[in-house]
């Protein structure tokens, strides 16, 4: 393991490209993570502890928000527990890079709690049932008073002052914007809260809303300036979808995300979402069942408008992520509304709408107990299983690191370059970080020459030939070309690669690396090697040639070859493996 602060393209590149179409502007999150890394002494286990801390904070804040809606500490605790052990959050909490999601959610939860206090959400609700409001005025319990009996102070000057609550809300909103882009919808969440939970405020647009919108505009302008453009990689560009297919994807993806929140369906691109032909019909039936359940909850709470807020905000916070690539960590912020609704359903079973003095029947107590036990055992079991699955998914990465550390024939020094052939895509990001930490190196550069056609590793052997001291020839396994299918299309889109055909030549641009150039070096303007497509068709690339400026056996070069038996076996490139019968290709200049 190792701790390293960088974007993925700075850890390992592919043909000199480092995800040019995916760029982030998250200064607050990156600053906080730098502080965490410094405090942790760059120890990964402590960074995981920080992730757990952020997740714990979010769970407690969800409990506080649920307390506002249901007015019960018991059910607020249940909501916090559901948020804490929800299976959809396993990857978000385990993946240190997803701390940006945890931070943004925490700041937005603090901001919405502070805003609700400033805007007096629920302050003028009538509560016909005293039981549900025994500990506080629950927003789900009451209905807004009629204008005729609404105090005039509800629209008076008392709401226009700068309260500490609104200042805290605006500050946390600004911090959330600096952590993740999905915070741009926060002003609309506040506006919806004023409509559904607000204290009878007549104005539909207030100075608080305008201030937040101005903050969003300023943020977008700064982001555009910092990134020198607007970078967003939509799924139709990544997966090569037609306009009709993209419309289908935009309809299906929110439904699948709802399945991930309420039914714990894993979000797997190309399998549960984003696949050709759309998801199975069962998912549509499950989505319909979720809608019917929500209507029942709404009716049981007397059609109160406040019940609409968690549902609409759940969909609202999904919106920024709908056009882009599917990922499980996109569910973290929307799950806040889902957790409130799930807790409300269990609370209804637990008699939260019972009239004062009416206890639960024995049957209902048994049903409530079974529901709570099912939640506790089921969620915990699925979460543990999901965690083991993620650990298993990182096994190829561990094997790559083991091969590099234990099998490398020559010492790896700071500033060296590791070239991987047939590396699994699941192991392509972090091995160099772990090797660097294990060896105590200050710098180590990793380059993927080819990715394995299969996600977890090579199922069939490929062929590697050393043509001469500057050239490598790689042939894909029979029937498994490189950059094939959906995964190949996504990789090409992420790296800005064009459609490749036989005879195409690409130069690997590694200008960002600081290279010590000796007087006799042949390196010219950072074009380290050239990729020549020898054989390609509609299915993918079947044969490639790599032409290096420097000799393959340069002391700073290390080559590793993936096969069905080894993830990254070191190869000897000091002498040709075939007779020099092909015309030599000049190194890139």
Q: How far apart are CA 445 and CA 328, in angstroms?
A: 29
String of DSSP letters for 34-95: HHHHHHHTT-HHHHHHHHHHHHHHHHHHHHHHHHHHH--HHHHHHHHHHHHH-GGGHHHHH-
Considering the chain, what is the average pLDDT of its residues? 82
- β-strand pairing of 445-451 with 471-475: unpaired
pLDDT tens per residue across span 259-271: 999 998 888 765 5
The first and second tokens of residue 294, run together, are: 């929500």
Name which of 113-122, 132-141, 329-338, 474-483 the model is least confident about: 132-141
pLDDT at 482: 92
Cβ(422)–Cβ(475) below 8 Å: no
Structure confidence at residue 355 as a pLDDT band (50, 70, 90): low
Structure confidence at residue 151 as a pLDDT band (50, 70, 90): very low
The first and second tokens of residue 179, run together, are: 């952590």
The first and second tokens of residue 351, run together, are: 């008699």
The first and second tokens of residue 506, run together, are: 């690409």
pLDDT at 578: 59
pLDDT at 186: 97
The first and second tokens of residue 197, run together, are: 């939970």
485/196: higher pLDDT: 196
Q: Over pLDDT 70: what percentage of the chain?
A: 80
pLDDT at 432: 82
Q: How far is CA 127 from CA 75, 194, 353, in A?
A: 18, 18, 11
pLDDT at 114: 97
Inside any domain, residue 19: no
Cβ(305)–Cβ(321) below 8 Å: no
pLDDT at 509: 64
Q: How far apart are CA 56 and CA 46, in angstroms?
A: 15
**How open is the CA angle 499-505-508, to the nearest 5 degrees?**
100
The reply to whether 48 and 179 lie within a common domain is: yes
The reply to whether 432 and 315 lie within a common domain is: no
List alpha helices for 228-307, DSSP H. 235-239, 243-258, 281-300
Name which of 77-86, 233-242, 341-350, 410-419 the model is least confident about: 233-242
Inside any domain, residue 575: no
Inside any domain, residue 352: yes
Q: What is the pTM of this model?
A: 0.85
Cβ(19)–Cβ(8) below 8 Å: yes
- Rg (C-alpha) for the chain, rounded Å, is 28
pLDDT at 318: 95
The reply to whether 351 and 478 lie within a common domain is: no
The reply to whether 289 and 355 lie within a common domain is: yes
Residue 157, pLDDT > 50, answer: no
Inside any domain, residue 259: yes
Helix, strand, coil shares, percent, the chain, to 5: 50, 10, 35
The reply to whether 419 and 462 lie within a common domain is: yes
What's the domain range around 237?
A: 43-150+161-392
* Cβ count within 10 A of residue 533: 18
Inside any domain, residue 100: yes
Last residue of a domain, one of 350, 369, 392: 392
**377: Cβ–Cβ under 8 A, 6 or more apart, which residues?**
none
Residue 116, pLDDT > 60, answer: yes
Q: What's the N-to-C CA distance of the chain in angstroms?
A: 38
- β-strand pairing of 12-14 with 445-451: parallel
Helices then strands (H, E): number in the chain?
18, 12
**28: Cβ–Cβ under 8 A, 6 or more apart, which residues?**
103, 175, 177, 178, 179
The first and second tokens of residue 350, run together, are: 């637990």
Q: How far is CA 353 from CA 77, 131, 357, 391, 399, in A?
A: 18, 8, 12, 43, 56
pLDDT tens per residue across span 511-568: 544 443 444 444 344 447 889 999 998 888 999 999 998 889 999 999 999 999 999 9
pLDDT tens per residue across span 282-326: 888 999 999 999 999 999 988 888 999 999 999 999 999 998 888
The reply to whether 441 and 299 lie within a common domain is: no
pLDDT at 273: 59
The first and second tokens of residue 397, run together, are: 């990465």
pLDDT at 486: 74
Inside any domain, residue 406: yes
Indicate if the alpha-carbon torsion angle 167, 172, 177, 183 is positive or negative: negative
The reply to whether 322 and 352 lie within a common domain is: yes
pLDDT at 316: 97
Q: How far apart are CA 529 and CA 541, in angstroms?
A: 18
Q: How far apart are CA 476 and CA 441, in angstroms?
A: 33
Per the document, the length of the chain is 589
Cβ(571)–Cβ(449) below 8 Å: no
pLDDT at 80: 97
The first and second tokens of residue 246, run together, are: 């993209």
101/483: higher pLDDT: 101
The reply to whether 61 and 204 lie within a common domain is: yes
**How open is the CA angle 370-376-377, to the nearest 5 degrees?**
85
Helix (H) or strand (E) holding 570: strand 569-570
**What three-state secondary structure class fits 320?**
helix
Q: How far is CA 141 from CA 200, 305, 376, 378, in A?
A: 16, 10, 26, 29
How confident is the model over 327-346, as a mean pLDDT?
94
Last residue of a domain, one of 327, 361, 392: 392
Q: Over pLDDT 90: what percentage of the chain?
A: 44
Q: How far apart are CA 127 and CA 304, in angstroms?
A: 11
The reply to whether 322 and 447 lie within a common domain is: no
Phi, psi (5° rounding) for residue 145?
-65, 150
Inside any domain, residue 461: yes
Cβ(457)–Cβ(424) below 8 Å: yes
Helix (H) or strand (E) holding 397: helix 395-407
Report the number of distinct structural domains present in the chain.
2
Q: How far apart are CA 507 and CA 529, in angstroms?
A: 6
Structure confidence at residue 137 as a pLDDT band (50, 70, 90): low
Phi-psi region of 545 (alpha: psi -120 to 50; beta: other; left: phi over 0): beta
Inside any domain, residue 60: yes
Q: How far apart are CA 190 and CA 183, in angstroms?
A: 12
How confident is the model over 154-168, as a mean pLDDT?
69
pLDDT at 7: 58
The reply to whether 439 and 366 lie within a common domain is: no
pLDDT at 312: 97
The reply to whether 367 and 418 lie within a common domain is: no
Indicate if the alpha-carbon torsion angle 259, 261, 266, 268 is positive or negative: positive
pLDDT tens per residue across span 365-419: 888 889 889 888 989 999 999 998 888 888 888 899 999 999 999 999 998 899 9
pLDDT tens per residue across span 415-458: 889 999 999 887 777 788 888 888 888 888 888 899 999 888 89
The reply to whether 506 and 373 lie within a common domain is: no
């Amino acid at each position: 393991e190792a701790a390293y602060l960088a974007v993925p393209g700075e850890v390992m590149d592919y043909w000199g490209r480092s995800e040019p179409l995916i760029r982030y502007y998250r200064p607050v999150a990156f600053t906080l993570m730098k502080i965490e890394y410094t405090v942790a002494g760059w120890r990964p286990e402590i960074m995981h502890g920080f992730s757990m801390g952020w997740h714990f904070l979010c769970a407690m804040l969800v409990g506080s928000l649920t307390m506002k809606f249901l007015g019960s500490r018991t059910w607020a605790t249940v909501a916090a527990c559901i948020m804490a052990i929800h299976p959809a959050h396993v990857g978000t909490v385990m993946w240190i890079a997803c701390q940006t999601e945890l931070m943004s959610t925490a700041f937005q939860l603090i901001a919405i709690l502070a805003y609700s206090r400033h805007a007096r959400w629920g302050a003028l609700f009538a509560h016909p049932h005293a039981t549900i409001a025994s500990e506080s005025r629950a927003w789900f319990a009451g209905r807004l008073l009629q204008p005729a009996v609404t105090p005039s102070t509800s629209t008076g000057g008392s709401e226009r002052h700068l309260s500490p609550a609104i200042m805290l809300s605006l500050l946390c909103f600004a911090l959330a914007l600096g952590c993740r882009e999905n915070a741009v919808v926060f002003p609309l969440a506040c506006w919806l809260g004023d409509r559904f939970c607000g204290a009878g405020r007549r104005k539909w647009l207030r100075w608080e809303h305008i201030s937040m919108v101005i903050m969003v505009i300023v943020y977008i302008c700064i982001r555009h300036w910092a990134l020198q453009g607007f970078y967003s990689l939509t799924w139709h560009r990544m997966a090569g979808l037609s306009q009709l297919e993209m419309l289908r994807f935009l309809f299906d993806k929110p439904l699948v995300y709802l399945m991930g929140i309420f039914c714990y369906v894993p979000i797997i691109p190309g399998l549960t979402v984003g696949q050709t032909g759309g998801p199975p019909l069962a998912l549509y039936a499950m989505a319909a069942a979720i809608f019917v359940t929500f209507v029942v909850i709404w009716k049981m709470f007397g059609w109160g408008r406040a019940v609409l807020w968690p549902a609409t905000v759940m969909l609202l916070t999904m919106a920024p992520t709908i056009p882009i690539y599917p990922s499980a960590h996109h569910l973290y912020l929307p799950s806040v509304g889902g957790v409130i609704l799930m807790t409300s359903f269990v609370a209804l079973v637990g008699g939260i709408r019972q009239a004062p003095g009416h206890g639960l029947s024995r049957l209902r107590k048994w049903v409530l107990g079974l529901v709570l036990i099912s939640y506790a055992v089921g969620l915990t079991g699925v979460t543990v299983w999901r965690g083991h699955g993620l650990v298993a998914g990182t096994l190829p990465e561990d094997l790559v690191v083991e091969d590099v550390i234990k099998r490398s024939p020559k010492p790896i020094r700071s500033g060296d370059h590791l070239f991987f052939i047939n590396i699994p895509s699941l192991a392509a990001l972090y091995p160099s970080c772990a090797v660097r930490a294990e060896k105590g190196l200050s710098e180590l550069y990793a380059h993927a020459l080819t990715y394995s056609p299969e996600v977890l590793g090579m199922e069939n052997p490929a062929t590697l030939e050393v043509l001469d001291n500057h050239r490598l020839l790689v042939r894909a396994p029979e029937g498994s070309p490189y950059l094939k299918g959906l995964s190949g299309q996504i990789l090409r889109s992420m790296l800005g690669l064009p459609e490749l055909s036989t005879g195409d030549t690409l130069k690997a641009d590694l200008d960002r690396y600081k290279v010590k150039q000796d007087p006799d070096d042949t390196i010219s303007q950072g074009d380290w090697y050239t990729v020549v497509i020898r054989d390609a068709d509609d299915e993918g690339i079947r044969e490639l040639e790599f032409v290096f400026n420097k000799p393959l056996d340069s002391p700073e070069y290390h080559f590793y070859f993936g096969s069905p038996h080894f993830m990254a076996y070191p190869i000897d490139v000091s002498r040709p493996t075939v007779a020099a019968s092909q015309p030599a290709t000049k190194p890139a200049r």
